[in-house]
Structure 1
Amino acid sequence: MSSTLSRVRAAYARVEAVDRPEIWIDLRPRAQVEAEARRIDELVASGVRLPLAGRLFAVKGNIDVAGLPTTAGCPSYAYRPDADAPVVARLRAAGAVVLGTTNLDQFATGLVGTRSPHGAVRSAHDPARISGGSSSGSAVAVALGIVDFALGTDTAGSGRVPAAFNGIVGLKPTRGLVPLTGVVPACASLDCVTVFARTLPEAEQALAHMASPPDRDLPPLPQRAPGPWRVAVPAREQLGELDEGWAKAYEAAVDQLVTAGATVREIDLGPFTEAAAMLYEGAFVAERYTAVGSFVDKALAANDPSLDATVAGIITRARDIPAHQLFADTDRLAVLRTRALAALADADALLLPTAPGHPTLAEVAADPLGSNARLGRFTNSTNLFDLAAVAVPAGEANGLPFGVMLIGPAFTDERLATIARLLQPQTQLAVVGAHLSGQPLNPQLLSLGARLDRTTTTAPVYRLHALATTPPKPGLVHVGEGGAAIETEIWRLPAEGLGRLLAALPRPMALGSVHLADGTHVPGFLCEPEALTGAEDITQYGGWRSYLDRHPTDE
């Protein structure tokens, strides 16, 4: 059975097995999706390169998918787009297959995932708790293993809060990197299309296909001084009230960054939380009325049953905000943004809990506005300040997923992802040649978030040979008797980074278990014995760098 077709069939079986109809607004007809899958498999078999072939994705219901209605979570608002939104079209052109459109907080107004006539989307891990919104269905479709990745949007945190509550990754790119054409706006000046995935590499791959050249001139980023990653964190009291166990989980994430080699310093969180409160309490919410206010007014006059009462109330109240308040809030925001960026100063990122807690469905029903406002404490200011962010899992708190996010200046998206890898499970790697510090392939390790742990030697059971490769590199071979101790660096890197390194490893190199002088074994680079024919045995030098010191013309 062909790869894409088999995955499509497995996905529809998974939809039935999880029995979560509230995830979806519209699933595409199975026969139609299977036909598309067959075409993709035929193209791949004929030699056409489709980098996302076999990947399935879901699309938040406020983003256009040709052939399906765009509803933004309100059936009476629906229209049928003539074409896919560019973000969807680019993913499909790379071979990915759309399964359907997903439920959301109506008109992308909310962080709870319960404000929808299609039903409240429940957490993938605890059906008594909310999924987080507004990109609720997209996040849960990924968390439950139905699709590989999903598109959401993020104005106040909708591409991050659901990621945290469902134990997945949420990438919120710099505004302008991903086109918004074909997206029903919430606040057009703040909106971003985001990506959910189960791993950071999956999310990054999807985002790479969606992105465009920046729609504005790149600002000069501060020159970064050499040294370890510098991460800003707030004082504990500035985090405010957190759910039980969440402060401990956050502190564990901070400790993990320190263990991974980052340096940490305190930051004044005041400008961030003050701006966060302004998003809904100030005049900026008026832009939501600009987006869909006239429709909501007419729908209310017609007693439209598909309108969510909480969402309609937020949007209609925004109609009466005076213009002078918008100017005053804009001035206030500029002051806060200046303070926030000054507080970040030379920090590479700000680490925060993604949300202060994970409420139940009952708690949100009892206090819909208060619960929602609390959830945006750490996320609301990101787009107001024109920052980039990535939300990643960081363990558990009280048996539920706990997530953190890294926030940084616009266009530092890659930097944030690199730092986020330090929060992923770590592994060790032994290197003896071109990946050593200062050697030509060492940047490969650094790009994966690796850091040098220590320098040691192997047990005296190896021989080292100079291979005829570009760049020059040695081959380490286990021989037992007659071997010697070889200089070795031990690096720590995210486990998924080791997998990526292995996938790109050229022959004759291989990954195996390296026996160290202290008796332990760690994964490391070895060489296939058949590649040693004609290669110079350089074991006597005790290591690759010592050999290069004696043979400078060979580098």
Structure 2
Amino acid sequence: MNTLPPEPEPVPTAPPSAFQRVISAYERLTETDRAGDWETLRAEEDVLVEAKAIDERVRAGEDLPLAGQLLAAGAGTAIAGLPGDTGLAEVSTVAVQRLTQAGAVVLGRAGKDSVPAVVVSGAADLGVESGIPRREAAFALQATPGLIPDTPVLYARELTAARLAMGVATAADAWPASFRLSAGDHPRVAVPGVAELAPLPVGLRRSFDAVVAACAASGMRIRSFGEPFDVLLTPATLDLAGPGVPTVSVPLGEVGGEPFGITLATAPYEEQLALDLAALLTAAPAGEPYAAASVEFAVFGEQVRGRPLSAWLAELGARYAGDVLTASHYRMVLLAGPEAGVVPGAQSLSGERWRISPAGFEQLRDGLSAPLRITSVRLENGVSLPAITCDPMAESTELTFYRDWRAYLRHLSTAGPRSA
């Protein structure tokens, strides 16, 4: 019999503070002798002062999604306090301002064509610049023109950081009313054919074919180059997307000693489709969607995933955002169809939360047939969301006992319809 006390639970290691990250960055710069990558490198003392202020804001409870992320700006990018083409800059570019407000710390301005290099080397976590993205060993993201002012290209060592940086750098009011946040469970992925891939070395072609096979195995519908698509998938070394098209370039290691990666292109304002595919291929968490100007809503019946009307949500570009549980204020009833109806009551119900563009939400509301309608429901955490409910006076059968539409459907498959 073991009488020894149990081993204590391991204490999780706290992430490095912004102050520590800056010290490590300057140590790496000294060790690797890469000062030549920088046009203007800020004094370490000045950067440490800003990093310490970031750490104090975090300790005070402020939400800074990019706290401590080290930022390199491209040649010619205005950075407050650093000399530029027209003398000492009074203010930074809009994109740099937004990134630093979210907690990023500027190391300096990289030299011409050096932003990806300083990100890959580990000196910086993020890089921003204007121009055409250089798809090397870092994640390279090019937003729809106009979403990120002055700086349409963003580099990062990690996809999660890249997505967060795109979100905070983008103007929320720059989004149109209509855009897609998802292409459903089986998006159409177009790939180049033999003729387009012929100039590539055999090793790169084989690696690219393996990526395409992985997409197909994940349920994506592979399409030929030139057919309608949701995402265009190409090797990073082939520029087939065209100018001004939003792209996400993903590093996938090396082939024959050279960096290998892919580029994902979408229609304007549909960057989220490429980000989702990039997350799948790199096993990164999906995270919150990129678009800020979206509407959250809840569903409880035939619109939940796997049911027929979820395809309608996919057509509208809606995105599943997680399961929800309502407060104890509702009942579930059976409507003709069959369909679930949610009315006032005294129980909690299970459903799903989705996100959609403002125009998509209007289409959803206008497309509902009576007695279904959009009203507000309160969730168990106190948050209220618009939701598909129904007219309380509609003729129906009580289903509250199940509290979940899928639970009733499972019962239906084994015990037959519930009588009134």
* TM-score bin, normalised by smaller chain: 0.5 to 0.7
CA displacement, residues 377-401 of structure 1 (integer Å, 9 cap, x when unaligned): x16x622xx4211101234311332
CA shift at 1:222, angstroms?
9.2
Give distance in 2, aligned partners of 1:144 and 1:7. 14
Kindly report which structure 2 residues correspond to 1:237-252, keeping only aligned pairs within 5 A, or say none.
237-252=195-210
1:382 alignment partner in structure 2: 242
Matched AA of 1:349: V
1:265 alignment partner in structure 2: 223
CA displacement, residues 295-340 of structure 1 (integer Å, 9 cap, x when unaligned): xxxxxxxxxxxxxxxxxxxxxxxxxxxxxxxxxxxxxxxxxxxxxx
CA displacement, residues 252-294 of structure 1 (integer Å, 9 cap, x when unaligned): 1111111111111212xxxxxxxxxxxxxxxxxxxxxxxxxxx
Matched AA of 2:245: L
Give yes or no for the alignment of 1:206 onto 2:70: no
* Alignment TM-score, normalising by the size of structure 2: 0.63
1:420 alignment partner in structure 2: 278
CA shift at 1:421, angstroms?
2.2
Matched AA of 2:152: V
Give yes or no for the alignment of 1:348 onto 2:234: no
Q: Which of 138, 144, 152 matches 2:129?
A: 152
2:63 alignment partner in structure 1: 49
Measured at CA, do residues 226 and 213 of structure 1 come closer, stay the same or move farther in structure 2, by a change above 3 Å? closer
Structure 2 residue ranges without an equivalent (≥5)? 1-13, 286-303, 311-318, 324-346, 353-379, 382-401
CA shift at 1:154, angstroms?
3.1
Give yes or no for the alignment of 1:97 onto 2:105: yes
Measured at CA, do residues 175 and 14 of structure 1 come closer, stay the same or move farther in structure 2, by a change above 3 Å? same
Measured at CA, do residues 254 and 38 of structure 1 come closer, stay the same or move farther in structure 2, by a change above 3 Å? same
CA shift at 1:218, angstroms?
3.5
Give distance in 2, aligned partners of 1:213 and 1:15. 36
Kindly report which structure 2 residues correspond to 1:159-198, keeping only aligned pairs within 5 A, or say none.
159-161=133-135, 165-166=136-137, 168-180=138-150, 193-198=152-157
Give distance in 1, aligned partners of 2:229 and 2:192. 12
Kindly report which structure 2 residues correspond to 1:438-453, keeping only aligned pairs within 5 A, or say none.
443-444=320-321
* Alignment TM-score, normalising by the size of structure 1: 0.49
Measured at CA, do residues 22 and 78 of structure 1 come closer, stay the same or move farther in structure 2, by a change above 3 Å? farther
SS at match of 1:154: coil
Contact 2:181 2:273 survives alignment (8 Å): no
- State the superposition RMSD in angstroms: 4.0
CA shift at 1:214, angstroms?
5.8
Give yes or no for the alignment of 1:139 onto 2:116: yes
Give distance in 1, aligned partners of 2:98 and 2:70. 14
Identity of aligned residues (%): 29
Give distance in 1, aligned partners of 2:265 and 2:161. 20
1:546 alignment partner in structure 2: 410
SS at match of 2:242: helix
Q: Which of 187, 198, 208 matches 1:229?
A: 187
CA shift at 1:203, angstroms?
0.3
Give yes or no for the alignment of 1:26 onto 2:3: no
CA shift at 1:160, angstroms?
3.9
Give distance in 2, aligned partners of 1:145 and 1:222. 34
Give distance in 1, aligned partners of 2:264 and 2:108. 30
Measured at CA, do residues 227 and 436 of structure 1 come closer, stay the same or move farther in structure 2, by a change above 3 Å? closer
List 4+ stretches of structure 1 deviating above 4 A: 219-227, 435-439, 547-550
Contact 1:92 1:98 survives alignment (8 Å): yes
Structure 1 residue ranges without an equivalent (≥5)? 71-76, 105-133, 181-191, 268-342, 357-377, 428-434, 447-467, 474-505, 508-537
Contact 1:154 1:172 survives alignment (8 Å): no
Kindly report which structure 2 residues correspond to 1:402-417, keeping only aligned pairs within 5 A, or say none.
402-417=260-275
Give distance in 1, aligned partners of 2:183 and 2:128. 35
Give yes or no for the alignment of 1:255 onto 2:213: yes
Contact 2:26 2:44 survives alignment (8 Å): yes
Measured at CA, do residues 176 and 266 of structure 1 come closer, stay the same or move farther in structure 2, by a change above 3 Å? same
Give distance in 1, aligned partners of 2:117 and 2:183. 40
Contact 1:233 1:265 survives alignment (8 Å): yes
CA displacement, residues 134-166 of structure 1 (integer Å, 9 cap, x when unaligned): 4xx2212221222221113233xxx242xxx32
SS at match of 1:350: strand
SS at match of 2:155: strand
Give distance in 2, aligned partners of 1:202 and 1:469. 36
Contact 2:191 2:222 survives alignment (8 Å): yes
SS at match of 1:414: helix
CA shift at 1:472, angstroms?
7.3
SS at match of 1:147: coil
CA shift at 1:225, angstroms?
8.1
Measured at CA, do residues 176 and 259 of structure 1 come closer, stay the same or move farther in structure 2, by a change above 3 Å? same
SS at match of 2:119: helix
Kindly report which structure 2 residues correspond to 1:390-405, keeping only aligned pairs within 5 A, or say none.
390-405=248-263
CA shift at 1:236, angstroms?
1.2
Contact 2:66 2:161 survives alignment (8 Å): no
CA displacement, residues 406-462 of structure 1 (integer Å, 9 cap, x when unaligned): 1121111111111222322489xxxxxxx97459xx92479xxxxxxxxxxxxxxxx
CA displacement, residues 461-504 of structure 1 (integer Å, 9 cap, x when unaligned): xxxxxxx976479xxxxxxxxxxxxxxxxxxxxxxxxxxxxxxx
Give 1 or 2: higher helix fraction.
1
Measured at CA, do residues 8 and 544 of structure 1 come closer, stay the same or move farther in structure 2, by a change above 3 Å? farther
Contact 1:249 1:395 survives alignment (8 Å): no
Measured at CA, do residues 14 and 251 of structure 1 come closer, stay the same or move farther in structure 2, by a change above 3 Å? same
Measured at CA, do residues 413 and 472 of structure 1 come closer, stay the same or move farther in structure 2, by a change above 3 Å? closer
Contact 1:249 1:396 survives alignment (8 Å): no
CA shift at 1:243, angstroms?
3.3
Matched AA of 1:174: T
